[in-house]
Structure 1
Amino acid sequence: MELQNLEAFCVVYEEGSISKAAKKLFMSQQGLSKAIIKLEKEFSKPLFTRSNKGVVPTDYARALYPKASRLSAILNSIEDDSSLPEREELHIAATSGFLMSVGLEFINEFERDHSTIELRLEECSDQRVAEQVDSGSAEVGFMAGPIDYEKYRGELFLRLRHVAVISERDTLARKESLTWKDLDDEAIALMSRSHAPYDLILSQMLKEGAAPKRLIETSEGYLGFDLASKNQAICISTDLHASKWARGDVRIIPIYDDYYSWDVSLITCRREKPGNAAQSFIDYALQWIKQHRNERFTWEHTVDCP
């Protein structure tokens, strides 16, 4: 619905005449009539009937007018208020599952304290995060490691422990912890190769002499959790994601790895200095995670984060 048409309805209602309303709105009578007809089609109700003295509002129009008048006034006040500050849009690219990890309040708290900045956060693969930060279409990214520090400035944001989500019917579910070697010749569900940890996990398995019997690449973690609950695969995930979203008769077992954890870093491109909005967000994000890490992102087997 166009605001201009709603305003036209209100003026016709107040003037009781198409011709008088057209003059007041500096419109042709034909153009004004078309606007009213368009509104009537949108509402699927007639708004006026013609009389010798002009137009008469229908019962529906009489009920509509107070609401339309109030809405029109509110929208006009917003458009006309030059005191409202312009909002700057800040584009952020984040690895899949990021927003579910930190929660919507992470965004809401920032925008509440920074009213002139509007965040546009897009979740995608780590590969896509890198592409967007490289191209400048996103000023800030959240990407799983490894990070190329020659290309990016990076600040560690989350450090997570790898875990295996296993059906309780699987014999491995009896173990208190696992190594990659334990997963030799098993069906493994893993986030796809467009996500950074994919190659590292497979290379660590090979270093320890393990290879999947079957490798199932997923675009998101839910499929892996579902396969684990059905005893069709072992899902490799993180302590954070598994503790929140794994369901069914499964066990979440830590995988102890001396070489690396599942790290998510806040990155910016080294070629460009962050703008004011980006720097405000970076400062906020690093302070926010420092305050919330222990209360929201720590489990029995979570890796300490400096």
Structure 2
Amino acid sequence: MTAGYRDESLITQVAGVHADHAAPGQVLTGRPTSSSTLPGLVVRMLRHGEIYDGADVLDLATGSGYSAALLSRLLGDAHVTSIDVDPYLTEAAAERLDRVGLHPKVVTCDGNGPLPGRYDRIVSMVAVRPIPVSWLEALRPGGRLVTCIANTSLIVTANKTDDGWAHGQIERDWAMFMPTRSGSGAYVSRLTDMYEAIRDQSGEDVRQGRYPVVDAGAGWELRSMLEVTAPGIEDRYEEDEDGRRTAWLLHEDGSWARASAQGTDCPTVHQAGPRRLWDIFDDLRFHWLASGSLPLYGARVSITPKGVIRVWRGTWKGVIR
């Protein structure tokens, strides 16, 4: 019971198996597929949504039902719809909400597809890339959406205009959510076999890197910029007992890189495939060092009716599609 009142995320489902269905002492491996999100983050996302009395709100990704509960207390049941792709999650959340006297509309559906209504606010507790067309179709003119971009820590807020576009910004805030799923099963990495094959392989191009090895996945700003610049790169990282750091970058186009060094020494970098992924990564790090920042946070955003996100700040421009 006390865990539910701590300001931390609680993993409730791993590889499609919910904690309710796990045997006592069972240890599951794989990626989390649902959680009860950090309560403070839920509140921040709702604040970004600029919720107001009388607004019809879509809570996208029911999870434990916590965000739906907050919205129902604030707005009343009739103004809240909560959806999730997993039928067990929606069923269990609806039962929990009922026990505390809350009855928002809870629907099992794919958040990437048609939505069950029209809304003044869409607040997503899952990450997407690009923005699903159905979101813009379901959002009323003047309505506002809040979401994270998949594989980044970028929170996008945008208001829909009469022409079907939405305009806003990348907030000077950060969060990371699981990406949307089209089914209730586990997430599957398509690059696991590739990683095993190239883990210790010599590259076509071997040279010394410019900067120390870092864990790209833990450096949220760098990871976000890498995803926007070269989408689809997966990363791995290890540090052994002697302090040797090794990082891998992989892409389904066959490109890969491995950088390894003792501590903060400049690494030996192996690369192969059509692109030099570590060079792309180091170019971003050079920009960061030379400029003192990366241009993503605070950038302006325009979202086309097809869900493509155009991003710019100063002279820098990017497209998230």
Superposition TM-score, scaled by structure 1 size: 0.29
Specify which structure has the higher proportion of strand: 2
**Bigger-Rg structure (1/2):** 1
Greater helix share, structure number:
1
1 or 2 for the larger relative contact order (CA 8 Å, sep ≥6)? Answer: 1
